[in-house]
C-alpha cells in the first residue's frame, strides 16, 4: 500500500521545516515523496535535494499552492502512483493520520478521503475558527456540499481521482475547487478526523482574512463563467 502511495508536498519558503516533514514521512514508511518547490526565495530546493531521496522539482516562478499540487500530482501519476496524498510542507499535518486515511480510502472504496480538524478536538485559534466556519457555509452555497472542514490541506485520493480533479485554480481557491469537483463529478468521499499542529511558524504562514475574501471573489467569478 505505502509503496504505491505518493506524497505530494507543495513547498514555499519552508526551508526550516521541510526536512523534518520528510524525515517523519520516511520514518512512517512513506518513501515516494514529491516535493514541488513553488519558486521559493529560500534554499529549500537545495536542502531537499542534498539531504533526502525525495523527488524534488521546482516551479521557476511562484504559481501558487494549487498549481504546485497539480504539478506534484502529474509527476506522481507519471511515476505510476496508485494513491496520492496532499501534505503540507510547514509541519502542521501529522504523519500518524496517514495510515488511517489510506485504510479508509482503500477499504471503503472511496475516491477521496478528506481530513477534518473539527471532528475531533483541535486547538484552533478563534479567528481561524470563524473564517473556517464561514468557509463551510460559503462552500455549501457555491457547491452544495456540506463538510465540517473545507480548507484542510490533508487529502488522500486514488490516482484516478487525481486525474479527474485536474486543478485549474493556481492559488488557494484550489481547496474549494476540489470540493466543487468532488460534488460535480459525483466522487465517493469521506471526512476523517485529523490533528493539525498550530505552531507560531504555521500561524505566521497561514491564510489571512483579506485573502479569504479574495478567494471568495475569484470562486464566484469562476462559477459565473462556467
Partner 1 sequence: MTIQYIASGIIAIILIQLIIRVIKDRTQFFKLLFWGIFWGIALVFIWLPTNTIDKVGKLFGVGRGIDVLVYLSIIFLFYYIFRQSEKINKLEKQITKLVREIAKENAKK
Residues that bind partner 1 (CB under 8 A): 34, 36, 55-61, 63, 67, 70-71, 74-75, 78, 168, 170
Report in angstroms how near the CB of residue 91 gets to partner 1 at its nearest. Answer: 23
Give the nearer residue to partner 1 in terms of CB position, either 31 or 188: 31
Q: What are the Cα distances from residue 98, in Å, to 24, 85, 101, 154, 169?
A: 11, 8, 5, 9, 25
Report in angstroms how near the CB of residue 75 gets to partner 1 at its nearest. Answer: 5
Give the nearer residue to partner 1 in terms of CB position, either 58 or 155: 58
Give the nearer residue to partner 1 in terms of CB position, either 94 or 170: 170
CA distance 9 to 98: 14
Pairing mode, if any, of strands 33-38 and 112-116? unpaired
Angle between helices 126-143 and 174-184 (to 10 degrees): 40
CA distance 130 to 213: 13
**Helix (H/G/I), strand (E/B), else coil: 109:** coil
Report in angstroms how near the CB of residue 170 gets to partner 1 at its nearest. Answer: 5
Report in angstroms how near the CB of residue 28 gets to partner 1 at its nearest. Answer: 23
Burial class (CB in 10 A: 0-12, 13-18, 19+), 93: buried
> In this structure, are residues 91 and 20 in contact, taking their beta carbons and an 8 Å threshold?
yes
Give the nearer residue to partner 1 in terms of CB position, either 51 or 199: 51
Give the nearer residue to partner 1 in terms of CB position, either 74 or 94: 74
Report in angstroms how near the CB of residue 222 gets to partner 1 at its nearest. Answer: 9
Amino acid at each position: 500500500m505505502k509503496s504505491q502511495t505518493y506524497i505530494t508536498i507543495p513547498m514555499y519558503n519552508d526551508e526550516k521545516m521541510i526536512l523534518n516533514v520528510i524525515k517523519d514521512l520516511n520514518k512512517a514508511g512513506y518513501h515516494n515523496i514529491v516535493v514541488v518547490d513553488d519558486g521559493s526565495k529560500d534554499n529549500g530546493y537545495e536542502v531537499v535535494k542534498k539531504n533526502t531521496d525525495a523527488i524534488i522539482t521546482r516551479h521557476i516562478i511562484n504559481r501558487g499552492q494549487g498549481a504546485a499540487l497539480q504539478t506534484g500530482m502529474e509527476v506522481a501519476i507519471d511515476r505510476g502512483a496508485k494513491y496520492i496524498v496532499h501534505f503540507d510542507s510547514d509541519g502542521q499535518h501529522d504523519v500518524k493520520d496517514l495510515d488511517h486515511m489510506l485504510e479508509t480510502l482503500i477499504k471503503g472504496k472511496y475516491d477521496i478521503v478528506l481530513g477534518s480538524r473539527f471532528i475531533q478536538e483541535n486547538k484552533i485559534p478563534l479567528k481561524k475558527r470563524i473564517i473556517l466556519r464561514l468557509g463551510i457555509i460559503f462552500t455549501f452555497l457555491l457547491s452544495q456540499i456540506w463538510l465540517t472542514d473545507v480548507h484542510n490541506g490533508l487529502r488522500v485520493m486514488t490516482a484516478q481521482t487525481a486525474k479527474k480533479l485536474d486543478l485549474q485554480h493556481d492559488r488557494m481557491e484550489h481547496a474549494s475547487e476540489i470540493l466543487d469537483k468532488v460534488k460535480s463529478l459525483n466522487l465517493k468521499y469521506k471526512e476523517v478526523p485529523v490533528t493539525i499542529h498550530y505552531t507560531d511558524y504555521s500561524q505566521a504562514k497561514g491564510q489571512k482574512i483579506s485573502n479569504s475574501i479574495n478567494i471568495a471573489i475569484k470562486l464566484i467569478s469562476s462559477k459565473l463563467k462556467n
